[in-house]
Amino acid sequence: MIMKEYKIALIKGDGIGPEVVDGAVKVMDAVSRKKGFTLKYTECLAGGCSIDRYGIPLTDETLNICKNSDAILLGAVGGPKWDNVDASIRPEKALLGLRKELGLYSNLRPALMYKALSDACPIKGLDSMDVLIVRELTGGIYFGRRGRTENGAFDTEEYSDYEIRRIVREGFRYAMGRSKRLTVVDKANVLETSRLWREIVANESGNFSEVSVEFLYIDNATMQLIGRPQSFDVIVTSNMFGDILSDEAGQITGSVGMLPSASLGDPGKPGMYEPVHGSAPDIAGKGIANPLATILSCAMMFKWSLGEDEAAQMINSAVDTVLEAGLRTADIYKGEGRLVTTEEMTSAVIEAL
């Protein structure tokens, strides 16, 4: 019997990236052995480490490896070491380049409150939250025209009908598979792009009549996400607003160290999976980073790119088990349970499998 083999591009990146990716690979290997498929890894550089070696944050070699893989696992990029680098070669350019070149326009960021972590939530009395943020990833102000003038600077928010329509349809599609509630976050009282978003949502809603739609301005949405987080199900929004809201949602659930993400494009194209947290250079090399966001990103990879739904569920269940057992890395430790290292948390997840 020939075992299925999947090609995975590994971009460990900077800061704590290598630590959390190494742990996640061990978990993926443990799952693949149990489920009877193999994973072939190709390691490549992007971000600050690529600048150090090649002078640029993203090389053609790395891009080609990613394009020819079934999925990409990325740790984190950036850090103060490269803060003085010219803006054209900053580490973050690697992320923007990968998203654009791979056509990864849909960013899924689930924010799930684990019952075992309710004490880590900064909101008193909140013990449940399950929100999926669908963020447009290749348009908006991050990719619009920008520049400097004699007395200032400018960044332009631009969206085409096509870019908005395809991500709005994704939002509706995910809502149909959940509680059939969709919140659209914009700034339509000020931005013309947001008014276009609303027009397209209204037009598309006729194709998803079962889904109830709520519109919120971004400033109100940030407040409501704290005031009534249980009332949200699927949020669809622009690139920058999604970036902000997903970090806020992560803090509500206890720590951004618990938040995975998937960046997806058209069917058949490789998806990229990464933790929402950054490179955390202040704790890099100390062995205390939380690997769970990266491990949960692997579960998303198994589900969305590899079609290994049972393997994905095994990881999700194992993470739930270790949290229920009281294991905590520093970011989610609140004085109760057992404080563990990155390696110990990884080993516990593998044992729970």
- Residues annotated as catalytic are 142, 187, 219, 243, 247
**How many whole angstroms from its chain centre is CA 316?**
16
Taking each helix axis from N to C terminus, what angle separates 309-324 and 17-35, rounded to the nearest 10 degrees?
A: 120
User: How far is the C-alpha of 222 from the C-alpha of 224, rounded, in Å?
Assistant: 6
Quick check: helix, strand or coil at residue 318? helix
User: How far is the C-alpha of 11 from the C-alpha of 45, rounded, in Å?
Assistant: 6
User: How far is the C-alpha of 24 from the C-alpha of 346, rounded, in Å?
Assistant: 7
In this structure, what token pair is assigned to residue 125? 């009395």
Q: Is 207 exposed, middle or buried (0-12, 13-18, 19+ CB in 10 A)?
A: exposed
Backbone CA torsion sign across 43, 311, 265, 218: negative
User: How far is the C-alpha of 24 from the C-alpha of 18, rounded, in Å?
Assistant: 10
CB 98 within 8 A of CB 57: no
In this structure, what token pair is assigned to residue 336? 């109760």
Q: Where are the beta strands (DSSP E) in 277-342?
A: 327-328, 338-339
